[in-house]
Amino acid sequence: MKALIRAQTSGTRLGPLTNQIPKPIIPVINRPSIEHAMRLLITYGIKDFVVSTHHQAELIEKVVGTSAQSLGCQVTFVNCPTKFKGMPWLEDYFDETFFALDCDIITTVDLGAMYKFHKEHQAITTVALLESNSSNAPSTTITNNGKLVRIDRNHKKKNYLHIIGVAIYEKDVFEYYKQNSNICSPFINNQDFTRLNLEPFSNEFFEKIPYLHFAKDSQWFGYKSSAFGIDIGKPNSYMKAHKDYFTKYKDLELLSEYTEIGRDIWVGKGVQIDSRAIIVGPVIIDSHSVIGFKAQIQPYSFISRNVIVGANTVIKQSIIWPYSIIGQEVTIINSVIPNNCVIGSKVEIQDIISIESGEIIHPKTKLIGNLAA
């Protein structure tokens, strides 16, 4: 069985983090974000992936190819001409039922149970639905047997079902797209959609269409799940995905690549930690990073590979991307430091996600943002 992983997005909502690195490969738990979708599929025995790309396709192919090699799976890349309407370009790559996952989601949805539901209901498309208490995502209404009825963007519900980026398609779905090439969803009974040219259920889609009604004969179903799921496409959710890791979706297979040297303190190969440094878990420090004299790495911090942390520096609830150098007596709280940054001594950074890759922050600089903790 094959799976499609949609990696066409550029990640503008995460800028400037994604100015140089596209969202499909930004680090999440010290791994490219798309790798988490790959690992979930591998858990269910699926190791043959089609990855659809658009923005910075060559860079994505290079990084995903490395991940595929380490995970022992096969990847075929398809460069789509736009970030939307990727489905018509993919028909030749599938000849049976297939999963489709977005590259920017972290979830524990039971794919085996979802597949069984899909087959039992003879669906053409099944989308995963998760419970939510936020009004940010579209509310989804389903019938008792799971058939989709309505999706409403402008709602005021506190508890509802919303679509997470996990779906199952039958090959028949391509016929619908070919017959209705300008229609966002062939299962929606509204002729006005023929004027649109948007990806189904994207943010741009719901800016144009606040709600959808599905045809009564629709073969589009929703699989209700109580699993964990989060879209890392916004700054707050990107940070939250890291904070939730140890409590809501801990990946033991991923952690097996590290050594636990203290309670929930996980380190990779070649990590050097000064004997007087203070590390309080949960923390992950990736390979060949250096933690200096009396440095403090406090809970919910993720240090990527080849990072240098200077003496007496404090890092708390923050994410440090690869190859960055953090000077002495620096304080970093609830922030992201991208690739190849140099942070001078005595710098204070709090609630910041606006630093660009390769940026140099001069000594004694104070950067205070408004990113919610």
Contact between 151 and 74 (Cβ < 8 Å): no
Higher pLDDT, 310 or 189: 310
- Mean per-residue pLDDT of the chain: 85
Percent helix, strand and coil across the chain, each to the nearest 5: 20, 30, 45
Which whole number is the average pLDDT over 63-90? 82
pLDDT at 190: 39
Q: Show the CA angle centred on residue 164, arms to residues 162 and 170, nearest 5°.
A: 110
β partners of residue 223: 128
**pTM for this entry:** 0.86
Average pLDDT over residues 116-121: 96
pLDDT in tens, 258-273: 999 999 999 999 999 9
**To 5 degrees, how large is the angle CA 71–CA 76–CA 286?**
30
* Span 219-235, pLDDT tens digits: 888 999 999 999 888 88
Q: For residue 114, what pLDDT is reported? A: 97
Model pLDDT, residue 233: 84
In the predicted model, what is the mean pLDDT of residues 329-348? 97
Report residue 78 as tokens. Answer: 């398809």
Indicate if the pLDDT at residue 256 is higher than 50.
Answer: yes
- The pair phi, psi for residue 66, each rounded to 5°, is -65, -45
pLDDT for 191 equals 39
User: Do 19 and 354 meet the contact criterion of CB atoms below 8 Å apart?
Assistant: no
More confident residue, 15 or 92: 92
28-73: per-residue pLDDT in tens?
Answer: 999 999 999 999 999 999 999 999 988 888 999 999 999 999 999 9
Q: How far is CA 110 from CA 116, 143, 321, 342, in A?
A: 10, 21, 30, 42
On the question of pLDDT at 85 being above 80, the answer is no
Query: Which residues are CB-contacts of 121 (< 8 A; sequence separation ≥ 6)?
Result: 145, 146, 147, 221
Residue 95 pLDDT > 70 = yes
Choose between 263 and 149: higher pLDDT: 263
309: which strand partners?
A: 291, 326
Give me the CATH code for the 260-368 domain, please.
2.160.10.10
Q: Chain-centre distance of CA 308, in angstroms?
A: 26
Q: Does residue 195 have a pLDDT over 50?
A: no
Please say if the pLDDT value at position 90 is more than 70.
Answer: yes
Range in 64-68, 158-162, 327-331, 367-371 the model is least confident about = 158-162
Q: Would you place residue 144 in the very low, low, confident or very high pLDDT band (cuts 50, 70, 90)? A: confident
Worst-scoring range by mean pLDDT, 29-33, 292-296, 317-321, 367-371?
367-371
- Asked whether residue 218 carries a pLDDT value surpassing 60, the answer given is yes
Contacts of 226 (CB under 8 A, 6+ apart): 130, 131
The pLDDT score that the predictor gives to residue 249 is 86
Which helix (H) or strand (E) segment holds residue 81: the answer is: none
Give the CATH architecture of domain 2-248: Alpha-Beta Complex (3.90)
Query: Could you give the C-alpha distances from 34 to 8, 22, 122, 164, 351, in angstroms and in order?
Result: 11, 11, 29, 15, 25
How much is the pLDDT for 134?
A: 62
Angle at 89 between CA 86 and CA 90, to 5 degrees: 90
**CA–CA separation, 301 and 297 (whole Å):** 7
Q: How many CB atoms lie within 10 A of CB 289?
A: 25
Residue pointed to by tokens 């994505």: 60
* CA 168/CA 242 separation, integer angstroms: 27
User: In percent, how much of the chain has pLDDT > 70?
Assistant: 82
Q: Please state the domain extents for the chain.
A: 2-248, 260-368
More confident residue, 279 or 204: 279
The more confidently predicted of residues 363 and 218 is 363
Minimal CA–CA distance to 138: which of 224, 58, 49, 210? 210
Q: What is the pLDDT of residue 193?
A: 41
Specify the pLDDT at position 192.
40
Cα separation, 314 vs 305, in Å, equals 18
Q: How far apart are CA 237 and CA 34, in angstroms?
A: 16
pLDDT band at 215 (very low <50, low <70, confident <90, very high): low
| Lowest-confidence segment of 35-49, 242-256, 258-272, 321-335 by average pLDDT | 242-256
User: How is residue 194 annotated by DSSP?
Assistant: G
pLDDT at 358 over 50: yes
* Backbone φ, ψ for residue 357 (5° rounding): -55, 135
pLDDT at site 133? 64
**182 band by pLDDT with thresholds 50, 70 and 90:** very low
CA distance readout (Å), 268 to 87, 212, 224, 237, 325:
39, 48, 37, 26, 18
